[in-house]
Amino acid sequence: MKPAPFAYAAPETLEETLALLAEYGDEAKLLAGGQSLVPLLNFRLARPRYLIDLNRVAGLAGLAADDVALTVGAMTRQRRLERDPLVQQHYPLLAEAAAFIGHPAIRTRGTVGGSLAHADPAAELPAVLLAYGGSVRVQGPQGERELAAEDFFLTYFTTALEPTEVLTAVRFPRWPAGTGWSFLEVSRRHGDFALVGAAALLTLDADRRCTRVAVALTGVGGTPYLVREAPAILVGQEVDATRLEAVAEAARAGVDPEGDLHASAAFRRHLSGVLTRRALQQAAARAHPV
């Protein structure tokens, strides 16, 4: 298949990009890594009249970190998350999860901003952003705004981004040193999108009692799903089998997955519990109080 005809623009600044978006509005599509958009164009599931390529726009790629957070430019390739020593050391959940995205060739082109803006309900990065309690930075005709992950993902392939806005950067807050992490997923074949995935972060004190925890799931509905009950069940407590099962039960009860040709809704619900429990267990085992 070939895409329907479109006009192509390759702006070099964010200002030019915003001006083009303001002019063309929802007749335009931004092109990042192209790993989701190009197949959609080729199947003519997307037929934009204008394609605005972000690849030459200055200042959209790269990592910046301080003691508080990691800021990832929207055009940073997914592969960088997996390989960057700073990410591996201080944001190991991000590095671990990135390695589950498709295959190396896809991660080498695919961008962090593209994955979040595309908002595939089975994607890894949206759940990881939710687990970290992160946010996205967005630039539009009215200036900049920052949206918490919880407010950004609205439903299947739909975010709070306006057609005139560009996602410019993503912010992952740093969790305390010694925090344990785990990303687990079940997919039909290695490299496939997850049927269900779980991203967990868990901090322990010197008595191995939980001081902070988050677990978020992917593949269980239109948006990534935060298991909100986890802190009430685990914080201040030892992470034992009974409490892990209580969080798993909360996950199973809370998710609202749909069935499709890859997995039934019941199987996805079952996986939600299993992966929640296992991810928290692994995160607790990796946590070391400092």
Ligand X SMILES: Cc1cc2nc3c(=O)[nH]c(=O)nc-3n(C[C@H](O)[C@H](O)[C@H](O)COP(=O)(O)OP(=O)(O)OC[C@H]3O[C@@H](n4cnc5c(N)ncnc54)[C@H](O)[C@@H]3O)c2cc1C
Would you tell me which residues interact with ligand X (CB under 6 A)?
29-37, 54, 74, 101-102, 106, 110-111, 113-115, 117-118, 120, 123-124, 161, 166-167, 193
CA quadruple 145, 146, 151, 154: dihedral, nearest 10: 60
Closer of 84 and 204 to ligand X (Cβ) = 84
Contact in structure between 128 and 94 (CB atoms under 8 Å): yes
Contact in structure between 115 and 78 (CB atoms under 8 Å): yes
Closer of 74 and 279 to ligand X (Cβ) = 74
Closer of 98 and 280 to ligand X (Cβ) = 98
Residue with tokens 């990065």: 125
Cβ 152 to ligand X shortest distance, Å: 11
Cβ 61 to ligand X shortest distance, Å: 10
Closer of 36 and 203 to ligand X (Cβ) = 36
Closer of 11 and 114 to ligand X (Cβ) = 114
Q: Taking CA 107 as the corner, what is the angle to CA 146 and CA 179, rounded to the nearest 5 degrees?
A: 60
Closer of 90 and 107 to ligand X (Cβ) = 107
Cβ 151 to ligand X shortest distance, Å: 16
Cβ 158 to ligand X shortest distance, Å: 11
CA distances from 206 to 59, 175, 213, 244 (A): 42, 16, 16, 20
Cβ 54 to ligand X shortest distance, Å: 6
Cβ 284 to ligand X shortest distance, Å: 26
Cβ 246 to ligand X shortest distance, Å: 30
Closer of 102 and 289 to ligand X (Cβ) = 102
